[in-house]
Structure 1
Amino acid sequence: MAGIDGRRQAALVLLCAAVFLDSMDLSLMGVALPAIQRDLSLSAGTLQWLVSGYAVAYGGFLLLGGRMADLFGRRRVFLLSLGVFAAASLAGGLLSEGWPLVVTRVVKGVAAALTAPAALSLITTTFSEGPGRNRALGIYSLAGATGYSAGLVASGLLTEVSWRLVFFLPVPIALLVVAAAPMVLPKGPPRTGSTGGFDAAGAVTATGGVLLLVYALTETNWPAGLVALLLLGAFVVVERRQPDPLIPLEVFRSRTLSAANGAALAWACATIGWQFVAVLYLQRILGYDALATGLGIVPMGLAIVVTANLAGRLVGRWGLGRVAALGMLVQACGILLFLRAGASGDYLTVLLPALVVHGVGNGLSFPSLNIAAVGGLPDDRQGLASGLITSSVQIGAGVGVALLAATMTVGGSGPDGYRLAFLVAGAFSLLGAALAYLGIRTPGADRQPARSGV
């Protein structure tokens, strides 16, 4: 038994390393962009797509990635996609042209979209539902949050030497995980009978719809948004008629799964959108340089680390809905504390308390939402559940950043624009708290039954 436990722990470390990489890559680009633009003489549009190309591909292919993990094997999809992620990172560091560089970012986004649901579903099928799984998911969520914070700090440090190091950094970590994973990751049960067909029509309409939706939000392109809505409507029609759909619509009968995904979308609108605004505030209003900005956010990351370690115990004592709602309320308080900041906000008395409170709320809410989202479906649908929750977060991130950027424009370029954006982010967090409190129940209470023959 000790050997089995040790192998599970090793598997958890490797899977967390993968989500750490995916999250870190979201923030690594931000600080390096001016140096890349200067060295390669890139246009503003090309520069923007170094960030949005990754996000669009990540958000658009997540649901497809979850289904592929269920159909073709979680370990196989995890290893192949992580290998592609490493190759695209290496190519990006060697290129010196704008659009080929953007292509590597898009490829990395697709690879991350396949890696994330495969990794999360490997955790949920390796650890049985209960305290063990809750703790594993808490550590997994912590790795994602830590990766984002680490990316901000590492970007500042590496860009001081060369922006190419930002691309090279993920390569050795990814290759180490690929080399070690076959020794510790479970192969999964042998497949008997039919696994069902591959829903090509559902894959095209869902992936195309989400891709265009994120693109429309990023570029404020309303015709693309209309086409996205038409594709998503067509997806619903297709799924109702498919014998083996990409997303069986009956899974949304689970009140907990639906509430967890809705709250996760609101969570990402609030926290990712707020972080986008807060970083700009530190640099444009307070005059922080890139390295100082990254280091200034470190206390928030530490608060997330400490609190996420406690989240599993609190879930066992108070329940998922209450812990998730409490976390989002605390997160809202941290966001709204930034309203005290003006043109010369003091770090120790104004910014630091807001960052720490926000981090505490993050550490409580995000693990709870992940646990709730995967607790309503059986093992044969864990790839689907993982893809849904990760997709909710990524789409929420796109919506939050787009809306808060527009809000800042309406409010003006001074501190008032940032204050208005902080208010909107706080409102999203309060909405997520209400969804979590009213909708999330004990895992398994409304669980969907496993399908036969899969």
Structure 2
Amino acid sequence: MTTLPSRRPARLTARLDAGRRALLFVLAGNMLIDALEVSVVLLALPAMERDLGLSTFGGQWVMSGFAAGFAALLLIGPRLVARWGRRRVYLAALPVFIAASVVGGLTDHSAVLIATRVVKGMCAALTAPTGLAIISTAFRPGAEQRRAVTVYSLFGATGFTVGLLCSGALTELSWRWNPVFPAPVALLLLAAGFRLIPRDAAPTPAAPLRATLARLRRNGPFLRSAVCAAALNGTYLGLLMLLVHRLHELWGWGSWRTALAFLPACLPLALALPFAGRMVGRFGTERLIRAGSCAAALGCVSALLTGTPTTYAGGVLPALLLVEAGFVLSFAALNLQATAGIAPEHRGSAVPVYQTAVQLGAALALPATAAAASFDAGRGGALAFLTALSATGALVACTTRTRGVRAAP
């Protein structure tokens, strides 16, 4: 008598695959709201400043506060995860994020609003690296893990674009909706996370921070990538913040019209990210980092030479396209180059240092840009600063030679 093969293993495998896909979307969804947080307040800055009596320099803290909080907690995040476990830290950060979002939308005090942004940045510093760590253990190394990281990154790029459009639409109603908008999404992720995020098998000791920094100081490709990524991120957000005020003050553009005008500065990355691996495989990280850094610098130069823009097509769009081209070309290449020469057992401690550098680029560039704009009514000083910042990134990219990395097939 022939025994029919059991279908239970196949069904079990199907359930496991479905469970991992659901887990990936929960973790990637959190990356989406982290990126959304950066852009959701961008177009609301003029309205916030008007209602709360803030100057341009005071209003920029609403943006840079998030980056500062993110950078401040990234380096000690691994220690908290080692002590309490990935699941606990991840699930504890989301309720704090939700509460801060609600308080930020209700407050009438600028200091409280800025404080909530710092707190939300700290929560993001715990959830983003923890999500990547969970992916590294829940998905098999190789093609499966690379696909998971691609989806995770894609959600981040999409989140910035979604946040920009939502910022434009919500500000037309009231800017108070903008800080609250991520809260319902985070609540859904929290409910799903309780069910899907696996429990930690055993605590993993965190690498000593001093030893990690000492090791990375001797790693040229890592330092180069960190400097270039910090310059690119600071240039990008500083330019967008400057243009928000320019379009509002010079042409009287509302938030929704400005959101549509900014689409060329964020949509291409979301569309190109699925093909980033092919680009790195064909051209290598070295060429892409140089091309991206130079494109961002050219974008700032074009804005500086144009001066006060008279048309969108001739005075604003070229800078947006060139700076975004910098991200399209070098975003994945910088991430790969930063970790390529680091032993696998040390990458978990190196990634937060790299991410800290990226966030510090925004945390330092935004106040400097706003200060320069406040002292110079023509905004030439602010554009000169951003040009110098982007040129520094391009100079580091073009004068420092490292061994290029190509993506594995």
Q: TM-score, with normalisation over the residues of structure 1? A: 0.74
The whole-number CA distance in structure 1 between the counterparts of 2:109 and 2:250 is: 32
Pairwise CA distance, 1:409: 5.8
Question: Do the aligned partners of residues 122 and 324 (structure 1) sit closer, same or farther apart at CA in structure 2, a change above 3 Å counting?
Answer: farther
Give 1:36 deviation, angstroms.
4.2
Residue 181 of structure 1 aligns with which residue? Answer: 193
The yes-or-no answer on 1:195 pairing with 2:205 is: yes
Q: 2:303 aligns with which of 299, 315, 338?
A: 338
CA drift of 1:153 comes to 2.7
Partner of 1:427: 391
In the aligned structure 2, how far is the partner of 1:289 from the partner of 1:156?
A: 8
3-state SS of 1:260 partner: helix
Residue 402 (structure 2) aligns with:
439
Q: How many Å separate the matches in 2 of 1:441 and 1:114?
A: 31
- Cα distance between partner residues in 1 of 2:145 and 2:275: 14
1:81 to 2:93 alignment: yes
Equivalent position SS for 1:103: helix
Aligned partners of 1:440, 1:396: CA distance in 2, in Å?
Answer: 25
2:86, 2:134 within 8 Å by CA — same for their partners in 1?
Answer: yes
Q: Report the CA distance between 1:113 and its aligned residue.
A: 1.9
- Aligned-residue offset at 1:58: 2.0
Q: Which residue is 1:277 aligned to?
A: 242
Instruction: Indicate conservation of the 8 Å contact 2:102/2:183, yes or no.
Output: yes
| Counterpart for residue 140 of structure 1 | 152
Paired with 1:348 and 1:46, the residues of 2 have a C-alpha distance of 30
One-letter code aligned to 1:154:
C
Are 1:138 and 1:367, in contact at CA under 8 Å, matched by a contact in 2? no
Residue 399 of structure 1 is aligned with which of 364, 370, 381? 364
CA distance in 1, matches of 2:403, 2:227: 10
Deviates more, 1:307-316 or 1:278-287: 278-287
CA contact (8 A) 1:58 1:109 kept: yes
TM-score, structure 2 normalization: 0.82
- Provide Cα deviations, 1:143-169, integer angstroms capped at 9, x if missing partner: 333333433332221122222211221
Cα deviation, residue 396, structure 1 = 0.9
CA RMSD of aligned residues (A): 3.3
Looking at structure 2, the residues matched to 389 and 334 of structure 1 have their Cα atoms a distance apart, in angstroms, of 25
Q: 255-264 vs 17-26, which deviates more?
A: 255-264
Give the letter aligned to residue 438 of structure 1: R
Q: Which residue of 2 aligns with 1:232?
A: none
Deviates more, 1:414-423 or 1:162-171: 414-423
Query: Measured at CA, do residues 100 and 312 of structure 1 come closer, stay the same or move farther in structure 2, by a change above 3 Å?
Result: same
The 3 A distance-change label for structure 1 pair 160 and 172 is same
Secondary structure of the 1:319 match is helix
Q: Which residue of 1 aligns with 2:4?
A: none
Q: Does 1:304 align with 2:301?
A: no
Instruction: State how far apart, in whole Å, the 2-side matches of 1:48 and 1:358 are.
Output: 20
Match of 1:90 in 2: 102
Instruction: Please state how far the C-alpha of 1:418 moved relative to its aligned partner.
Output: 5.2
* Deviation of 1:21 (Å): 1.4
Query: Shift of the alpha carbon at 1:395?
Result: 0.5
Amino acid at match of 2:76: L
Give yes or no for contact 2:300–2:390 (8 Å, CA) kept in 1.
Answer: yes
Per-residue Cα deviation, 1:263-305 (whole angstroms, up to 9, x for no partner): 2222223322332333333333444332222221012222111
Deviation at 1:376, TM superposition (A): 4.4
Counterpart pick for 2:183 among 171, 182, 188: 171
Partners of 1:53 and 1:300 lie apart in 2 by: 22
Q: Secondary structure at the match of 2:76?
A: helix
Whole-Å separation in 2 of the counterparts to 1:188 and 1:301: 36
Instruction: Name the CA distance, whole Å, in 2 between partners of 1:432 and 1:162.
Output: 43
Match of 1:152 among 164, 185, 190: 164
Instruction: Give structure 2 stretches of 5+ with no counterpart.
Output: 1-12
Structure 1: 5+ residue runs without aligned partners? 203-238, 240-244, 445-454
2 CA distance for matches of 1:83 and 1:178? 8
Shift of 1:74: 2.4
* Separation in 2, partners of 1:417, 1:145: 30
Give the aligned partner of residue 225 of structure 2.
260
* Pairs aligned (count): 394
Deviations 1:213-233 (A, max 9, x none): xxxxxxxxxxxxxxxxxxxxx
Q: Within 2, Cα distance between the matches of 1:16 and 1:113?
A: 14
Structure 1 residues 424, 149: closer, same or farther in 2, change over 3 A?
A: farther
Determine whether 1:323 maps to 2:285: no
Which segment is superposed worse, 349-358 or 384-393? Answer: 349-358
